[in-house]
């Protein structure tokens, strides 16, 4: 068993950067890159690289013949396309910047070498798997819910993951939050998502202004979620 705090302390982005910079060929195998809002790249296109997110947000979708489906959000401190396996897999994954984002592009073979020498207990890999498994658990939980539940669940996930408290029960959401992104993340139509969010706005639970989205009453939002779950038991 692993202590999550110890795992986080050893394998956070700051310590990863220290490990990488210990090697004199660091600059030969890494590059600071900027992704503009809406810019995308696929796992197949980037198979030689992984990306340490330094600033900004990304969504990761599965794009295949069956359609384009949202999977997870990635923020600063996370690694996009971590080289978990030696062979190239999950080629259908596409990462898209939701805001201007700063990343460190790392050659996968260089990262593998550093991990093999500096992280014999695979703490970095375990932390990555923990992060991804939580996101996949959330995605699986989402598809078991009704349409209204999915919209509310998505809002609460955004609050818990990215929310910034400005007052006791008021929470500021990231700039990428809007009707379109909530509809995509909750796997609902835009029109239905707007109807649910309009009701929440009329109840003074959320505010959806051009200047930014806010949750005005976190307790009421969570009660709304609890009530929906009881309704469908």
Please list, in sequence order, all residues whose beta carbon lies within 8 angstroms of the beta carbon of residue 72, skipping any fewer than 6 positions away: 59, 60, 132, 135, 136, 138, 139
Q: Is the pLDDT of residue 168 over 80?
A: no
Nearest to 108 by CA among 198, 46, 35, 190: 46
For 44, phi then psi, to 5°, come to -65, -45
- 105 plus 201 within the same structural domain: no
pLDDT mean over 166-178 = 90
Last residue of a domain, one of 123, 141, 159: 141
Query: Residue 23: which of 109, 140, 138, 125 has the closest Cα?
Result: 109
- Listing DSSP states for 149-168 in one string gives HHHHHHHHHHHHHH-EESSS
Residues 13 and 111 in one domain: yes
pLDDT tens digit string along 120-155?
A: 888 888 888 888 888 888 888 888 999 999 999 999
Asked whether residue 31 falls in the same domain as residue 56, the answer is yes
CATH of the domain at 123: 2.60.120.10
Total domains in the chain come to 2
Task: State the pLDDT at residue 232.
Answer: 38
The predicted pLDDT at position 5 comes to 67
Which pTM value belongs to this model?
0.86
Which tokens belong to 17? Answer: 């950067």
Span 70-92, average pLDDT:
81
pLDDT, residue 197, reads 96
- pLDDT recorded at residue 51: 95
Angstrom CA distances, 164 to 72, 136, 174, 220, stand at: 20, 23, 8, 17
Domain residues for the domain of 100 are 4-141
């Amino acid at each position: 068993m692993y202590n999550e705090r110890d795992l986080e302390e050893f394998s956070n982005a700051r310590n990863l950067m220290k490990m990488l910079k210990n090697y004199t060929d660091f600059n030969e195998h890494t590059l600071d890159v900027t992704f503009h809002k809406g810019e995308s790249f696929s796992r197949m296109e980037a198979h030689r690289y992984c990306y340490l997110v330094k600033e900004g947000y990304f969504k990761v979708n599965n794009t295949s013949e069956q359609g384009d489906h949202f999977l997870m959000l990635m923020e600063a401190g996370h690694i996009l396309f971590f080289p978990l396996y030696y062979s190239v897999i999950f080629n259908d994954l596409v990462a898209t910047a939701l805001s201007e984002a700063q990343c460190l592009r790392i050659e996968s073979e260089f990262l593998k070498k550093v991990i093999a020498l500096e992280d014999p207990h695979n703490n970095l890999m375990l932390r990555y798997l923990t992060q991804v498994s939580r996101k996949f658990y959330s995605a699986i939980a989402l598809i078991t819910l009704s349409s209204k539940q999915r919209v509310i669940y998505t809002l609460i996930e955004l609050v818990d993951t990215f929310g910034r408290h400005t007052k006791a029960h008021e929470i500021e959401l990231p700039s990428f939050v809007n009707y379109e992104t909530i509809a995509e993340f909750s796997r609902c139509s835009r029109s239905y998502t707007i109807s649910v969010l309009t009701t929440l706005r009329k109840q003074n639970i959320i505010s959806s202004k051009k200047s930014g989205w806010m949750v005005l009453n976190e307790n009421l939002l969570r009660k709304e979620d609890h009530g929906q779950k009881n309704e469908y038991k």
